[in-house]
Amino acid sequence: MLVGLASGTAAAAGYTLHCAEDSPLFYVTWYGIAIALAAIIGAVLEHRFLRW
């Protein structure tokens, strides 16, 4: 889950540098959904691909 959360946060930070939108509701809604989705996908896939 931590891998997905970190990648989602990094992607959101990169997108923020190029996006002209500055509404707090936009950030909370769309970035929150994207980061949560990346965290969920990371949590599901990490057990499959990061098994030692």
Average pLDDT, the chain: 79
For 3, phi then psi, to 5°, come to -65, -45
Position 7, amino acid: S
pLDDT digits (tens, 9 = 90+) for 17-38: 887 777 888 878 888 888 888 8
The whole-number pLDDT of residue 52 equals 62
Give the separation between CA 40 and CA 7, rounded to whole angstroms: 11
Alpha-carbon torsion (16, 19, 22, 24), positive or negative: negative
Higher pLDDT, 25 or 51: 25
Average pLDDT (2-19) is 78
